[in-house]
Amino acid sequence: MKISIGDVVLPGDYCEEISQVAEKSKVIIGPGLRKEVDRVYITKPGVLKKRNPGTFWVDSYQKRYVPSRGENVIGVVVQKAGDIFRVEIGGSITAALSYLSFEGATKKNRPEVQVGDVVYAKMLVASKDMEPELVCVDSHGKKGRLGVLSDGFVFKCSLNLIRKILNPNCPLLETLKNEWPFEVAAGMNGRIWIKANSMRETIAVGNAILGAEYLNDEEIRSMCNNIAAILAGHVS
Amino acid sequence: MEIEDENNFKLRPMKCELNYLSRSDGSAILAQGETVVLVSVNGPLDIKSTSQSIEKATLEVLFCTKGGKPSVADRFKENIIRQTCETAILGCLYPRTGISLTIQELEDFGGLLTCTVNCACLALLNSGIAMRHMVAAVCCAVSEEGNLVLEPSYTQVQSASALLYFVFDSRERNLVTGFTEGSFSENTYEEALARCRLASDVVFDFYRDIVKQYSDVI
């Protein structure tokens, strides 16, 4: 079936608008789109989105992570194998993290990473035919916010929720950060790490994030205020 | 042979819920009439190296009957569903991985296989696995008098002289899978195929409605 931008699309549909734009200028087709001989076909159910001048993608619901390059993910170290760590990131296979890809690490000075540690890392290589590869430094050799996440609490959620809370327009973290102090790291693989001063506060952040999945901006604000009131002890 | 108005199809009412199971990557429960099936999809995930394929994802289908006892008939159903879904899934995007499809029969009042194929398609849609196209299965029975009955009820299945199952793709409405039981003439087959092809539009429209409902929320 022929569809246009903003429509709910299903696999097997095709979009002629993309081909028309492609005739004049360069286009980028993102997740959920696939170019076949004559047309651009949809491969995932969701909403077809466009960003000017020529970026197209399908916003679809997903729980299973498929690695893609440049994304920040949260993983658990499951094995130390020679000079790499194997990190479980929720994809089909574990990702490799070299011990040299930490800030200030040399062959003599190994980073202190144990099996079971939670790491926040960037996807360096993510090809369907190769093992994914992670790094904990940027191209300047600085760690930035990447590295081992100590303490805290990790939980899983759908990939859409991660994209939702990381959206700069989403009021969730903006509202929560004014209420009580906490640290949060969101991995694009559907994992969230939280660290707060007490267990009560950690659970409150976790519930606020999970509760935001099906709410709109206004509802998120009122939910955050509710949780903050309960936490402060105004409501029992 | 009785010929109905071509645009007037009465398929059994369909009801569906996506994301029915919280832990699996994708799931759907579908009721077609009184027949109910629950399908869960997990993947792409790691599988043992003997069953890995270097060029495409391996599809594993597990069919559980209501009684729970596995039988040869179930293996037959698993094969049909596996082959049908393999054409629909873009397996080449997930090489050396496995996708597992677990099907639980909840109620069988005729047309279990069509319900299963449709439910599997909905679960795959929910899981976000890349697909070439969708599939829709339609069943047609030939009654003793030689009339064609689309989506027969339990009693109609019991008394039918032949049963014809067809699965179509969503792009060109091409035949993906077709299998038959009983004896019938070539003309009957052609007629049933044409009717089922038209009726598959109803199923595809239903898919679109369901996904629309969920895309507002998700």
Residue of B nearest to A214 (CA): B217
3 state SS of A61? coil
CATH class assigned to A72-149: mainly beta
Q: Measured between alpha carbons, how far is B63 from B84 in angstroms, rounded to an integer?
A: 15
pLDDT of the residue at A234: 65
Domain ranges of chain A: 8-59, 72-149, 153-232
Which residues share a beta bridge with A134? A97, A123
Tell me which residues of chain A have a pLDDT lower than 70. 234-236
The whole-angstrom separation of Cα B120 and Cα B97 is: 19
Measured distance CA(A125)–CA(A118) in Å, rounded? 20
> For chain B, what is the total number of helices (H) and then of strands (E)?
4, 9
Domains in chain B, CATH or no CATH each:
14-217 (3.30.230.70)
ipTM of the complex: 0.90
What confidence score (pLDDT) does residue A104 get? Answer: 87
pLDDT in tens, A70-100: 999 999 999 998 889 999 999 899 999 999 9
Measured CA angle at A156 (ends A85, B101), to 5 deg: 95
Same fold for the pair A8-59 and A153-232: no
A-chain residue closest to B217, CA distance: A214
Homologous superfamily (CATH) for A153-232: K Homology domain, type 1 (3.30.1370.10)
B118 reaches A (C-beta below 8 A): no
Nearest alpha-carbon partner for A135 in A91, A110, A99: A99
Residues of chain B in contact with residue A37, where contact means CB-CB under 8 angstroms, are none
C-alpha separations of A41 from A45, A123, A141, B103, B134 in Å: 11, 27, 40, 29, 12
Interface of B with A in 180-199 (CB under 8 A): none
Give the 3-state secondary structure of residue A99: coil
CB contacts of A128 in chain B (<8 Å) are 93-95
**Chain B residue whose CA is closest to A164:** B218
DSSP state for residue A64 in the 8-state scheme: S
pLDDT at residue number B4: 47
CA atoms within 13 A on the CB side of A196: 18
pLDDT value at position B188?
92
Q: Of how many residues is chain A composed?
A: 236
CATH architecture of A8-59: Beta Barrel (2.40)
Digit-by-digit pLDDT tens for chain B (218 residues) are 334 444 456 788 899 999 999 999 999 999 998 999 999 999 899 999 999 999 999 999 999 998 878 889 899 999 999 999 999 999 999 999 999 999 999 999 888 999 999 999 999 999 999 999 999 999 999 988 888 888 888 888 888 999 999 999 999 999 999 989 999 999 999 999 999 999 999 999 999 999 998 887 65
Name residue, tokens 């699965």. Answer: B167
Q: Which residues contact B150 (CB under 8 A, 6 or more apart)?
A: B9, B10, B11, B138, B139, B140, B195, B196, B199
Looking at residue B89, its pLDDT comes to: 94
Tell me how far CA of residue B94 lies from CA of A111, A126, B46, B49, B153, in angstroms. 33, 12, 11, 15, 39
Chain A residues within an 8 Å CB radius of B95: 128-129
